[in-house]
A and B are shown apart, each in its own frame.
Chain A
């Protein structure tokens, strides 16, 4: 690998590790100092390696330079001596003997500690995700802005607001205790799932970037699985859910970037290895007595990896949605449950249920009614698709709905 490839690659994998370790060392109030030291380390690497060539072990080189820079900072700056040095938890008086620990174990522990810090309830969800992408996953502000279809300033503000909140709350970056894990793991899982969904459902055209978001969410989840204390059944269930969804990542998009609906997907493009991994995680998740929303959603996603439209499949999906809705209502789950009901019990039953939902103004509500009425009462179906067209937000959705309207219109004329 030459410098142009190697440095961005190392930046993606090593930046977050070094930042985590240094943040944990300095404490949350000096988070920017940690970021500066690591950024500066990469700057030095870029300069030195282009002159002297890449060292034999680039990662070890980065760690050594980061350690030296940390020591130098400590010596040089009054700020450090007066404010930072006392805050450092290591038992050392002199900067010379300060030990920055970049061992694998310490990196893993620090990253877990940072994950729990970023997911502190003091920070809003949108900011948590931006901060997680930046600090825990090593994405740049521009990349995050691209994925969220917004500009750099917005993301920059979100991240700074998150940091300010964490500082104001004086959150300690530490290995979460068992009681902290109990209390906060749910928030951590929500953030990871939102991060995944951002990649999976984002309307951004940066497909590669979106896929990386999904991979990062799975990596963070893997960090929880790797630690005995955080490897709960719900964590395994979330991992299973993400594997099942991710298995269809490629099959969802056509050659021209258009969306391919589930029923039209070429299932030979589904990633079999990911499906098998998902099954493995789901089996591991099936212990204990607690059924989390991730267990139910993973169950639903599992049945969607089975192509054949069997009675068993839709009965199971319906039961899982029934259960899911009792513990976590969402409009989309209510609509999906009604779709499963149509598959399991017929369209007439489902129409009666759909009309009780009253999700007026919701694009997918009208699309569902349009789908259910198609073949039963095509004029009604057409009216619902026309209502859907009025609420549509993206070109991709508009195209799909327009397709239905054209088909129905010609059917009605023929009859």
Chain B
């Protein structure tokens, strides 16, 4: 088993943000089911946290309010999972209910020492 990071990116800033706050509200229950499903397979590394939409962006000389938005989509959620392979991890990521409202999910594998 390897560890993978599932990063959910979504548009937090523009007026026609995808998904909309209403859609996010609607996604809460399916999101819980998705996490519950991962946990039931004993593939959840840590309980996921909810993150605020504010955030600070820090550079070497500035601190600005708001999430990082040089690109359109900011991080909307992070889930740490265990999976056999990239294929397995991608299969799990495909179940993320926010996808159907236009979010993008990025999957990254943790490197092991040595």
Contacts and interface: CB of A to CB of B under 8 A. Distances in A.
Chain A complexes with chain B: yes
Interface of A: 318-319, 321-323, 325-327, 329, 333-334, 337-338, 341, 353, 356-358
Nearest to A337: B40
Contacts of B35: 322, 326
A321 B36 contact: yes
A28 to B, nearest CB: 37
Contacts of A341: 33
A357 B39 CA distance: 10
Give the size range of B's interface with the partner.
10 to 19
B33 A322 contact: yes
B8 interface: no
Interface in B4-37: 29, 32-33, 35-37
Contacts of A325: 36, 39-40, 44
B36 A322 contact: yes
Interface in B31-83: 32-33, 35-37, 39-42, 44, 47-48
16 contacts: A318-B33, A318-B36, A325-B36, A325-B44, A326-B48, A329-B39, A329-B40, A329-B42, A329-B44, A337-B36, A338-B40, A353-B40, A356-B37, A356-B40, A357-B41, A358-B41
A326 B37 contact: no
Contacts of B37: 353, 356
A323 B36 CA distance: 7
Given A318-B36, A322-B36, A358-B41, 17 more contacts: A318-B33, A321-B36, A322-B35, A323-B32, A323-B36, A325-B44, A326-B35, A326-B36, A326-B39, A329-B44, A333-B40, A334-B39, A337-B36, A338-B40, A353-B37, A353-B40, A357-B41
B41 A322 contact: no
Contacts of A318: 33, 36
Question: Which 7 interchain pairs have the tightest Cβ spacing?
Answer: A322-B36, A325-B39, A334-B40, A326-B47, A322-B32, A326-B39, A329-B42
A357 B40 contact: yes
Contacts of A326: 35-36, 39, 44, 47-48
Nearest to B48: A326
Contacts of B41: 334, 356-358
Nearest to B36: A322
